[in-house]
Structure 1
Amino acid sequence: MDYVAVESSPRFVELKRKHRSVVFPLAVLFLVWYFVYVLLSSFAPDFMGQHVWGNITVGLLFGLGQFVTTFAITMGYVSFANRRLDPISSEIRQELEEQEKR
């Protein structure tokens, strides 16, 4: 199997481009959101300690928001991969399996 040729094929290049077009922006967005949370908790304790409702503080809401965004990003990526990436990768896999049989 000529893996270098497969990697440079138009379909594989398209697959990598689509993957990167989603993964890199999502990773940057999440890292910025995470570091904002860490920096606010370190340098703005009064803001993070403000009570929103009862004993619920802004910091607690931001911390719980980290979990929510992690799950949202994961679900969004899985949906994207199922719709956009998996069909292309299945085509590539099928072509490779047919080549291997020859």
Structure 2
Amino acid sequence: MVLCPFAALTGLACPACGGLRMVAALGHGDFAGAWAQNPLLMVGLALAAITGVLLGTRARPRVRALLARPELAWAALAVAVAFAVARNLPGVTGLGPV
């Protein structure tokens, strides 16, 4: 079993904890199990796939311009931090890892 260094040091789940099990569950077609491991990475994976498809269309210049904006990186960081805090709050369930 692969251990998360952040979880090993702090006892808290980082935003990526459960990601490897999520990918394994997706590989077996278990979407519910994958969602239970890490819903944030599931959404991120879907957004990455959509972005990849859009980069192959006429929308490529607009998508590239959007991806180059620093606000997008800051927003992604803010979402990851909020997710990490929320999944470590007592009594919060459904944010994995299981």
Is TM > 0.5 for Structure 1 vs Structure 2?
Answer: no
Between structure 1 and structure 2, the one with the greater Rg is 1
**TM-score, with length taken from structure 2:** 0.40
Bigger fraction of residues in strand: 1
Looking at secondary structure, tell me which structure has more helix per residue: 1
